[in-house]
Each structure stands twice: as structure tokens, then as C-alpha cells.
Amino acid sequence: MDEPDALRAWWMPFTHNRYFKQNPRLIASGKGSYYQLEDGRSVFDGVSGLWCCPLGHSPARVVAAIQKQVANLDFAPSFQMGHSAAFSLAQRIADFAKRPKDRVFFVNSGSEAVDTALKIALAFHRANGEPSRTRMIGRERGYHGAGLGGISVGGIPSNRKMFSPLMMPGVDHLPHTWNGTHMAYSRGQPAWGVHLAEELERLVTLHDASNIAAVIIEPMQGSAGVIVPPEGYLQRIRDICTRHGILLIFDEVITGCGRLGKPFAADYFNIKPDLITFAKAINNATVPLGGVLVDNAIYESLMSGPSHLIEFFHGYTYSGHPLAVAAAHATLDELSESNLIERAAELSPVLENAMHSLRGEPNVTDIRNLGLAAAVDVAPYSGAAGLRAIQVFEHALNNGLYVRYTADTLVLAPPFISTPTEIKTAVETLRKALQAQVK
């Protein structure tokens, strides 16, 4: 295969490896809202890395906290031992989420957070005397990471199709909530679509609630391209779950930690899920860290049996890793002292107005936004789905902007430290990239 030796060995994740190795895009360093590429160009990071660096890159406070931590305690086992900063971080995250009685289970990624939440849901029902509650309900187009639990409840066909023999049995999917006829170019939450939540009642009737453990959804679907929940939809899902004793899991790996201008989307939408997964922005992605916020009643129900025995057989070597924990404390300090979540809320209309000004540009078929996230769909080439978005992405990158694309959707989710001018400039760069597509 014609590929540079230097790039041969790394089999890259979620990447067109052959194309990439012939057209490498290598990042040399990052500072603030910008990446420096190895060829010397500076590009605005329009996606906060992968939705995970709200403070921009290498923020001084977080760098210093990690450096101090590694010199003092590089690793501490969290099986039958512990370190204080992980305990204080757990309480801090519960307070930050405005769920001070919650318990927090630490993991190392969004995928692990999802698998952990699914396991907690199963264990809870078993401990609660309802072991037949094992079915899980996800949603079409949902992304819940790459673990086997996550792809089972996830709804992105290409992530699932090769692995069906390994997937969890007993999983159903709610319909996704995007509809081009009824909600194209909605600003924020679409007015149409609350009735789609009633599909959950249909599944409950089909299977009986006594067989259903949990519903897992992203409050706003991120990876599928900023699919925003219709007004009233999440509340309707919450009500149906409550009525039937089904646990509601919000996967907030993207929406958690400020992306919607509130600490969590649960807060933004004023809904109380039973479990919330988080990762990414919680420590600015400097050291892998994720977790699950768990309603105290769920935790309590699992604290049974002799007290010298392990109650929940689950965990990871790196759960509560000291460097990840130190980075999270520093990130939360910086978010609050610099009012960055409020800033994300203030920047949200700037992004909304700029992105919706792309309506009418060549091949644009929809634009969506919520909080500091927005997406534009472009019409696919016939017979070559995804190619147009790659071309737009490459044009933007060559002109100083890193955006994210999946299928034929381009996404912007800039760092919270961005300025209004940077956001407007990024959208103008995207406009030029769209205009370059006229063929």
C-alpha cells in the first residue's frame, strides 16, 4: 500500500486510514482556541477538539495542576484504597450538576460511562426485586460510544452493522427526532415532534414495563449532527419512564459541563434523569476521565449484603486516576472563576445567527443549533454520500478552520473562550468552503 512509513503502524479510530495516510493532517501543538499544524499553519479549533476542550488547549491552570499532581502522586489504586481528591471531586461534580445527594462512579471515557450506566440500571432492578427488567431502549441516530453496550443502544447503523453477534439482546430504539419537512432551519428547539415521545408508550405496551430496565438518550444528539429535541419531548419521555418505573439515563458526554450554557443539559431542560453520564469537557480532556452521576436511591438499593463484601462488581484500574482528577478540579475552578459557562450561553446567539446566515448557500439543506453547538447539512453527491462534507471540511481546514464532519453534516462547537469575532470568522470560512462546492 502506498503510505508513508512513519504513518504505517497506527490504525486510527473512526478515520479513513488509507486516505488520511496519503493526505495527512498532523497537529503539532495547541494553544488557546488554535491548533498549529505540522506544516506551520494555525487553525481555529471550531470543535473544541472533539467537543471536549471548552477552555481551549493547554490552559495554564490545568497544565499546572497536572504537573503538580504527577510529581506528588502519579497513580493510586481505587480498588479497596482511595485518595481524597477523587472523593472531593465526586461531591463537587454532584453539586455542579445540582444533584448534591447523587453518587459518582468514575471511569475513563464516555464509552465506559455508558456501559457503566447500563450495568447500574440492570443491577438496580435486580436488587430492587424486579430482575425481569432487562430490556434497554436507545434511539435511532444516538451515539453512546464504541463499547458493546454503547453500540447496542446506539443508533448509528455503520457503528453497528459488523458487530450484531456481539450486541446486547433485548434492545429497542425510539425513532430519532429529525424531520426535514417539519423542522428544517429551526432555531433552537423545533416546535414540531413532541408526539415522537409516544413511541415509548408503544414499546412499553409491546414488551410490558416489567421487562424494561432503562431508556438511554442524549438530550441533544451531538455526534449525529446536533439533532435538537422538540419542545416538550424530553419531559414526555421523563413522564412515561416515571409512570412505568423505567430508569432514564441522559448521556451527557457532549452536553455535560456547559455546552448548552448550563452545567448539564438536565438543568437546561429542567428534567431529572435517574443517571447522567459525563466525560470529555469535565477536565478539558487533558487526561481521560468520565463518570456516571447516580441518584442516591439507586446507590442505596445496591448497598446490601455483608459490609465486608464488594457491592457492585465493576470498575477500571484507572477509575479516579489522580492526574485526571487534578485536571477536573482545575477545569471546574477555571469554568467558574472565569464565568465560562455563562460565556458559552452568551456566545450561543452569536453562533446561531452566524450559522443560520448560511441558509441559501450552495447545497445547504438544513441548519440546526442549540447552546454553543450548530450543524449544517449539505446535499450528498449521488452515489458518494459523505464526499461533499469531506471537501467542505478540507477547504475550511486549508483556510484556517477545523470543523467536524459526519456523513454530510458539518458541525461547529467552539471553545467557550472563543470571541464573537472568532465565531463569525469561522462561519465565514465555512461559507467560502460551501461556495467552493458549486459544481
Chain positions contacting ligand PLP, by CB under 6 A: 109-111, 114, 143-145, 218, 222-223, 251, 253-254, 279
Residue among 222 and 291 whose Cβ is closer to ligand PLP: 222
CA distances from 55 to 46, 110, 259, 316 (A): 13, 19, 12, 27
Sign of torsion over alpha carbons 18, 24, 30, 35: negative
Q: Distance (Å, rounded) from C-alpha 85 to C-alpha 215?
A: 32
Residue closest to ligand PLP, measured at CB: 110
What minimum distance in Å lies between the beta carbon of 421 and ligand PLP?
28
Residue among 189 and 255 whose Cβ is closer to ligand PLP: 255
Residue among 218 and 352 whose Cβ is closer to ligand PLP: 218
Residue among 223 and 363 whose Cβ is closer to ligand PLP: 223
Q: End-to-end CA distance of the chain, in Å?
A: 32
What minimum distance in Å lies between the beta carbon of 92 and ligand PLP?
21
Encoded amino acid at 314, one letter: H
| CB contact at 8 A, 388 and 378 | yes
Residue among 221 and 391 whose Cβ is closer to ligand PLP: 221
Residue among 107 and 354 whose Cβ is closer to ligand PLP: 107
What minimum distance in Å lies between the beta carbon of 129 and ligand PLP?
30
Q: Distance (Å, rounded) from C-alpha 119 to C-alpha 428?
A: 45
What minimum distance in Å lies between the beta carbon of 309 and ligand PLP?
30
What minimum distance in Å lies between the beta carbon of 14 and ligand PLP?
9
* Set of cell numbers at residue 27: 497537529
Characterize the bridge pairing of strands 247-251 and 290-294: unpaired
Characterize the bridge pairing of strands 171-174 and 135-139: parallel
Residue among 279 and 347 whose Cβ is closer to ligand PLP: 279
CA distances from 384 to 26, 60, 150, 388, 409 (A): 26, 44, 28, 8, 14
What minimum distance in Å lies between the beta carbon of 144 and ligand PLP?
5
Q: Distance (Å, rounded) from C-alpha 318 to C-alpha 339?
A: 30
> In a 3-state reduction of DSSP, which class is residue 27?
strand
What minimum distance in Å lies between the beta carbon of 243 and ligand PLP?
26
The DSSP result for 54-97, as a single string, is TT-BS-HHHHHHHHHHHHH-S----SS---HHHHHHHHHHHHHT
Residue among 254 and 433 whose Cβ is closer to ligand PLP: 254
What minimum distance in Å lies between the beta carbon of 331 and ligand PLP?
16
Residue among 143 and 361 whose Cβ is closer to ligand PLP: 143
What minimum distance in Å lies between the beta carbon of 95 and ligand PLP?
23
Triad 100, 103, 109: Cα angle to 5° = 115
| CB contact at 8 A, 217 and 138 | yes
Q: Distance (Å, rounded) from C-alpha 234 to C-alpha 219?
A: 7
Residue among 33 and 109 whose Cβ is closer to ligand PLP: 109
Q: Distance (Å, rounded) from C-alpha 219 to C-alpha 317?
A: 30
What minimum distance in Å lies between the beta carbon of 220 and ligand PLP?
9
